[in-house]
Amino acid sequence: MISPPEPEEIEVSVFGRGYGESILIHATQNNWFIVDSCINPSTERPASLEYLDKIGIDPALAVKQIIATHWHDDHIRGLGDVYKACTSAEFVCSVALNFPEFITLVQTYENNIMAKDTGIDEFKTIVNELLHRKKKPVFAMANTPLWRKEIKDNNGNEKECCIYSLSPSNHAITAAMIDIQRNQATKKDAKKRVIATSPNHAAVVLWISIGDFNILLGSDLENTRNTDSGWSAIVNSTLRPQGRAKYFKIPHHGSQNAHSLEVWQHMMDTDHVSILTPFHKLLLPTRSDVDRICSLSERSFSTSSLKQKKVKRDKSVEKMIKDTVKNIRLANPSFGQVRQRVSSNGSSIDLFLDATSLKQIYD
């Protein structure tokens, strides 16, 4: 695990802890990208930075972009520290965060003494760092190229690396603005976190092409009743990059409300790998979700297990807990990493810590 990928080797690593996720991509030749952020509960460090440190990669030089797919708490923990460490990286976020209503919401939370745990600290850190660098964010919306480069291999042959945002659509951006307006904070509700209401209107879905290897990162995008938003808008778009993905980060913990059969039928290669990050509090994916996904994807994995770990306690302590507490669940049940590396010699999947085959997520 401690060795970095070869210069011409593609890597996609997904980290998850049952609440939170982060994705790290090596687009060959030391071009790295970080999508979202989560914390390793054992070390309290951002998982992406910790991993780069272990394999000897300097994030200040190697990371080209940091992409925040949306502002839900399980996707942004430690994101401020990540951006500060990646001093040459661009910061990418949904165009829905570029509206005055969101800034007003941020300022309302910031000015309230009770708002220490609202996620605003991450946003403030990033904004302050942008100001310090005299840089502006890159704003993502549907069918927009975010990064493109011709990358030469060791033999001098070039292949194109492109990153596109497939969402949010125009309709979804409007819906997100309405959500933000509804979430205008008051002193009474200032302890709530700064999030959009469900569904995740403004989530940024990414399509990454590294030569002929396509990656689809589903964020937390859900289905909607309106075909101009959600997964329907992406599948039906004539402007999105064509081709089929060989790697799929399944959206929204594999839940039914983010499932689109058309995505699997029209956007996925028959030989693909799919990854999800579970959500322990709601036990997502459910057993039926697991069955559904496994029927569509032979090689599917999870960053951690949903099997409850038993903690050994003194019998008297155990009895006292059972008499007073209805439901017991570990605060940080597990943490793991699923890593795929792809080269001209083939590909490999490595599971670290609590990562598991999706079929065994409940075993």
Cα gap 250→293, rounded to integer Å: 9
Consecutive 10-residue averages of pLDDT for the chain (363 residues): 91 94 98 97 96 98 96 85 98 80 55 54 86 94 97 88 97 80 53 50 94 97 92 96 97 96 97 96 95 98 84 58 59 82 96 97 93
pLDDT of residue 106: 58
pLDDT of residue 101: 46
Cα gap 1→24, rounded to integer Å: 14
pLDDT of residue 153: 84
Smallest Cα–Cα separation from 248: which of 12, 15, 6? 12
What's 36's DSSP letter? Answer: S
pLDDT of residue 59: 99
Cα gap 246→216, rounded to integer Å: 8
Q: How far is CA 327 from CA 37, 109, 311, 314, 330, in A?
A: 29, 32, 14, 18, 10
pLDDT of residue 322: 61
Position of tokens 């969101």?
Answer: 102
Model-wide pTM > 0.85: yes
Report whether the peptide linkage leading into residue 199 is cis, meaning its omega lies within 30 degrees of zero. yes
Q: Phi first, then psi: what are they for 204, rounded to 5°?
A: -95, 110
Domains parsed from the chain with CATH numbers: 10-322+336-360 (3.60.15.10)
Smallest Cα–Cα separation from 91: which of 30, 37, 131, 135? 135
pLDDT of residue 8: 96
